[in-house]
Chain A
Amino acid sequence: MAHAAGAHAVHEAPTGFIRKYIFSLDHKVIGIQYYLLALVAVWVGMILSLYMRLRLAWPTEEFPLVGGVMTPEAYLSLVTMHGTIMVFFVLTTAPQSGFGNYILPIQIGAADMAFPFLNALSFWVTFLSFAVMLAAFFVSGGAPISGWTGYPPLSAVGEVAGPGLGLGQTLWVVSLAIFCGGALLGALNFIATTLDLRAKGMYLMRMPLTVWAWFITAILGLLAFGVLLAAGVLLLMDRVAGTSFFIPGGLVISEQIISHKGGSPLLWQHLFWFFGHPEVYIAILPGMGVVSQILSTFARKPIFGYRAMVYAIMGIGGLGFLVWGHHMFISGMSPYSAIAFSVLTLSIGVPSAIKTFNWLGTLIGGRIRFTTPMLYALGFVSLFVTGGLSGLFLGQPSLDLYLHDTYFVLAHFHMVMGVAAIFGIFAGTYFWFPKMFGRMMNEPLGKLHFWITFIGVYAIFMPMHYIGIAGHPRRYAETSGVEYLGSLQPVHDFISIVAIVTIAAQFIFLFNFFWSLYHGEKASVNPWECTTLEWTVPSPPPHDNFGGHSPVVYHGAYEYNVPGASQDYIMQTSPEKVTH
């Protein structure tokens, strides 16, 4: 073959500031750019949730920046933008595009991603998408109020249905369409890189589970975002070209007859959730990879059931495409379809349980080092199990008919794919910060941050199960006006106070992050005594990662505590013989 696979990845080290740090082709710079984008986005999303909690606990108070007492519509726009920003620009961006970009090429022994230019392009497309999304706050009418799922007809009929459904909603759709473009470029790049650029000896079944998770996540992204793109185009056509894909005939909104006819809002739900369900695995799978890596490293034991872990990732990813209907149990679907979707949904519990028990199996008998990344990895397992168990309730149509659109659902997905994925991001941050920035993060501050956050998120989301079962619907700005909700108000007050404390604790993280950038203890090449390839190169690694040569891999990624070995871990690049 005239063009060797690795040849694309080699490009000269840039010199000027702009080429080096802004429009860089280096996967490490792009990874950090993605990470910082997510860091900005997560603060925006978190401030939005703070305002939601303020409104819920003190509905008649005035708060700065919102102009007097917040209207219910303003609350809905907070709900919408919080969800959208968190799902797309944090949970999709940081674990996959951020850490994946930085770590994946190094862990497989490559000099860069397969397509460095497309890589930079995908970041800047995502950046543009974020700018367009934020612009929705500042246009006439403000941000949309149709939720992160953008259900039509509300999202399709325009301003007549409420503030923010004019230009704000259009910007929201355009932003998501742009995001799809960036996500597809990224996914394509990750897959090509993993298949083509592995170093000699890095067989598929020697890849770290992080690489497996990023690889499978990229496949999910490749298959899911194309469908969201199509749905977004159709919704945009409904909004600007007068079509009626998602708008049925005979609608009367705000005492106005809508002239559109012939469409079906359910079509959007099918297309959206065909994307939307894999999307939750796009958010959580990279976290699972990171957690597997960290648990094994700090338990000083090989990961329990490596192959089972790989197959479980594939199983979760594959099943993820067959269960979108469980978001639509109350849409009037045939009970027979509901049974099929329900059985498939509950069967995702099998690979999930395999992963959980393998994590526990990894921990049993280990000499556990309770570092901050390890605490966050353990927190991830705890949150994933807690959130996953409520999924078994929601996956059954008979229960979901009651629980749908209540706080129970909110509690479920925040636990299992929101906060758990965030814990995966925190674990990855504390774990790879030394490699990415050359300095250690502060451990006592990290542990303080962990304990407040861990207790905080449980105190926030456990009571939501309770008010959900009590029948509290989502998206209500206040409990007044509905008698049975009034008695639940003290729970809201409690959640809001805990949320304020937990959000305040995130300043500890922010301080630790930026303080450690400049004043942290210098990191050695391999501070955690981990076996994978990124710990064989300097911290931070040079421009082409391996200084112009390609490493050769002799072992799997989890050779800890091998009997008869010279030390308690064996690097993947160590030629030392291992007999199992």
Chain B
Amino acid sequence: MATIETGGTTTSVWGGGASPFAIPSKKLGMWLFIVSDALTFSALLIAYSYSRVASADWPLPFHFWPSIVVASVMTFCLLSSSVTMVMAVAAAKQGRVGATVNWLLATMLGGVAFIILHANEWRTLIGEGLRPFDNPWGSPLFGATFFTCTGLHMLHVTIGVIVLGVMAIGFKKGRYPADYVEISGLYWHFVDLVWMFIFPLIYLMSVPLEH
């Protein structure tokens, strides 16, 4: 009664294999990682808000064109990639390997498009004189917070694209179960969600209000 032996491995003894909270450890682990990572991003965004409120000369350098339009396109790329990620998870659960891989590739495409647009935006801003320690418009903390928040987010997107690539290959070869696709999906949606805070706080609130 004490144990259920299946093929040499001891499975959960919680009456029939379902774990106590009906969540496999790896998925729970990803949720917990997301919680801690959310705290890290929260701290950065609070640092941004704090610095902004405490500065008398906070600049508002972003204009509707090109900054907000480009950032909106980037947002569109990321949100679309979340949709394709949902499709990938659904396909994986149904065991459709080819469709899963294709949806994962589409998701990666959205991520890569985001990274390229973002990198180009950084390049333009650096060309206009924005630095982590200086800018021509006002408080030097604008650049510091901008590069820190968007940089860490871009790092997350980049890692996400790599993880999805590994998932696509592993799932195709049958090394990873559908659950793993879902777990990497959790990460991907989280990274998108972080952007949904960065976009209004750092972009929309940096548009000058006159006219």
Chain A residues within CB distance 8 Å of chain B: 1-8, 10, 111, 114-115, 118, 184, 187-189, 191-193, 195-200, 222-227, 229-231, 233-234, 237, 241-245, 260-264, 267, 270-271, 274, 548-552
Contact = CB atoms under 8 A, between A and B. Distances in A.
Contact of B32 (A1, A191, A237, A261): A191
12 contacts: A3-B26, A6-B12, A188-B32, A196-B19, A222-B39, A230-B47, A243-B133, A243-B148, A244-B140, A262-B51, A270-B46, A548-B3
Given A10-B10, A264-B54, A243 B144 contact: yes
B208 interface: no
B174 interface: no
Nearest to A203: B20
Given A4-B12, A6-B10, A243-B144, A263 B20 contact: no
B152 to A, nearest CB: 8
A5 B18 CA distance: 8
B40 A226 contact: yes
A262 B139 contact: yes
Contacts of B98: none
Nearest to B32: A188
Top 6 A-B pairs ranked by shortest CB distance?
A: A242-B133, A5-B19, A230-B43, A4-B11, A226-B39, A243-B144
A490 to B, nearest CB: 46
A277 to B, nearest CB: 14
A552 B14 CA distance: 10
A170 B158 CA distance: 27
Contacts of B148: 233-234, 237, 243
B20 A195 contact: yes
Interface in B131-186: 131-134, 139-141, 143-145, 148, 152, 177, 179
Contacts of A242: 131-134
A3 B36 contact: no
Given A184-B36, A192-B25, A196-B21, A3 B177 contact: yes
A115 B17 CA distance: 18
Contacts of B51: 245, 262-264, 267
A188 B26 contact: no
B10 A549 contact: yes
Contacts of A225: 36
Nearest to B23: A196
Interface of B: 1-3, 9-15, 17-26, 28-29, 32-33, 35-44, 46-47, 50-51, 54-55, 131-134, 139-141, 143-145, 148, 152, 177, 179
A191 B131 CA distance: 41
A31 to B, nearest CB: 19
Contacts of B54: 264, 267
Nearest to B141: A262
A492 to B, nearest CB: 39
Contacts of B17: 1, 4
B151 to A, nearest CB: 10
B32 A243 contact: no
A424 B98 CA distance: 56
Nearest to B44: A230
Contact of B36 (A222, A260, A552): A222
A551 B139 CA distance: 62
Contacts, number: 173
B25 A223 contact: no
Contacts of A187: 32, 36
B12 A243 contact: no
A8 B131 CA distance: 47
Contacts of A1: 17-19, 22, 24
A200 B13 contact: yes
B39 A550 contact: no
Contacts of A234: 44, 47, 148
Q: Which of A115, A244, A262 counts the most B-chain CB atoms under 10 A from its CB? A: A262
A191 B18 CA distance: 18
Contacts of B141: 243-245, 262-263
B36 A188 contact: yes
Contacts of A200: 2, 13-15
Residue of A6, A111, A242, A548 contacting most chain B CB atoms (<10 Å): A6
Given A111-B10, A199-B13, A550-B13, A8 B26 contact: yes
A115 B10 contact: no
B59 to A, nearest CB: 11
Contact of B9 (A10, A188, A244, A260): A10
A244 B36 contact: no
Given A188-B29, A196-B23, A267-B51, 15 more contacts: A5-B14, A192-B29, A196-B24, A197-B25, A200-B13, A223-B39, A226-B36, A227-B39, A227-B40, A234-B148, A241-B133, A244-B141, A262-B141, A549-B10, A550-B13
A432 B50 CA distance: 47
A548 to B, nearest CB: 7
Nearest to A195: B21
A575 to B, nearest CB: 10
B11 A7 contact: yes
Contacts of A271: 43, 46-47
A262 B10 CA distance: 59
Contacts of A196: 12, 19-21, 23-25, 28
A4 B12 CA distance: 6
Contacts of A548: 3, 10
Given A222-B32, A245-B51, A548-B10, A5 B133 contact: no
A111 B39 CA distance: 31
Contacts of A549: 2-3, 10
A5 B12 contact: yes
Contacts of A189: 29
Most chain B CB within a 10 A radius of its CB, from A5, A7, A111, A198: A5
A198 B144 contact: no
The CB with the most chain B CB atoms within 10 A, among A7, A225, A230, A550, is that of A230
Q: Which of B29, B33, B42, B46 has the most CB of A within 10 A?
A: B29
Contacts of B10: 6-7, 10, 111, 548-550
B12 to A, nearest CB: 4
A5 B55 contact: no
A548 B5 CA distance: 9
Query: Which of A7, A111, A196, A222 has the most chain B CB atoms closer than 10 A to its own CB?
Result: A196
Contacts of A261: 140
Q: Which of A115, A243, A271 has the most CB of B within 10 A?
A: A243
A231 to B, nearest CB: 7
B10 to A, nearest CB: 5
Contacts of B140: 243-244, 260-262
Nearest to B39: A226
Contacts of A118: 29
A245 B47 contact: yes
Contact of B25 (A8, A245, A262): A8
A104 B24 CA distance: 19
Contacts of B40: 226-227, 229-230
A2 B21 contact: no
